[in-house]
Amino acid sequence: MKMMLFILLYGMGNYFAEDNAVRHPFHVSNTEINYNAVDKNLEISCKIFTDDFESALEKTYKQKADFSNKSMESQMEKLVKQYMKDHLAIHVDKKQMLLTYIGYEVDREAVNIYLESPYLNLPKTVIVQNTLNYEVYDDQISIIHVIVDGKRNTKKITFPARLETFNF
């Protein structure tokens, strides 16, 4: 019985430890790009583990990043906006999209980031360049979903790759 209690407590301690690799051994982000035909708009959302994202922001910009600190919200908005500009690019039908940063929200252990870009025509080819968290993890995987005209196409970009092409 003592051994079972030890194993349970040890496992819980590892789960709540500060070591990121122990908390989630996979370094994954998720990006969804949805073409809204009614609004003629690309709607983009990215989900990144909070601790991984804070590490990437700190390493990139050499300053403290803390999504749980309310007094840092303004600073975090600036950091997230700049980071997304530097690490996510989308080309549609050979034209680079100007991504407008909408904002972010923290959802438990992840940060959701929202962007958009106007696009008038139904996209035929979407090229995604994604280097989220590449400065901190050499095993980073980015799952990319592109939805056009109700058709969902999913691919992954694995470090060190940076690009993936979606055809509709």
- Reported as a pLDDT band with limits 50, 70 and 90, residue 108 is confident
Q: What is the DSSP string of 83-103?
A: HHHHHEEEEETTEE--PEEEE
pLDDT per residue as tens digits for the range 61-100: 999 999 999 999 999 999 999 999 999 999 999 999 999 9
Q: What is the DSSP string of 6-39?
A: HHHHHHHHHHTSS-HHHH-S--EEEEEEEEETTT
- Return the domain boundaries, the chain: 26-167
pTM of the model: 0.84
44-80 exposure pattern, b = at least 16 Cβ within 10 A, e = fewer: bbbbbbbbbbbbbbbebeeeebebeeeeeeebbeebb
